[in-house]
Amino acid sequence: MKTYLITGNAGFFGSILKQDLLRDGHFCVGIDREVDDYRHENYISVTGDICDKNLAKNLLGI
């Protein structure tokens, strides 16, 4: 199982991407400025801006 970081996860293309990846058995972390109410056991949604350097570092583990 791979882990994917999806930016814009609450938008049209991000929603399609996360559902496809989750259906294929992957783990996804999504970040968007909009709240994403999608729920799945292999999915974490973060509300925030990818331009926030501290948030990005925390998400990437650096």
pLDDT of residue 18: 97
Contacts of 7-14 with C-beta under 8 Å, sequence gap 24+, read 7/31, 7/32, 7/50, 8/32, 9/36, 9/38, 9/45, 10/34, 10/35, 10/36, 10/38, 10/45
**Per-residue pLDDT, 48:** 95
- Distance between CA atoms of residues 56 and 36, nearest Å: 18
Per the structure, the complete domain to which residue 41 belongs is given by: 3-60
Q: What local confidence, expressed as pLDDT, does residue 59 receive?
A: 84
CATH of residue 24's domain is 3.30.160
Q: What is the pLDDT of residue 42?
A: 97
Domain count, the chain: 1
Q: How does the average pLDDT of the chain come out, rounded?
A: 94
DSSP, collapsed to helix, strand or coil, labels residue 50 as: coil
- 14-43 residue pLDDT tens: 999 999 999 999 999 999 999 999 999 999
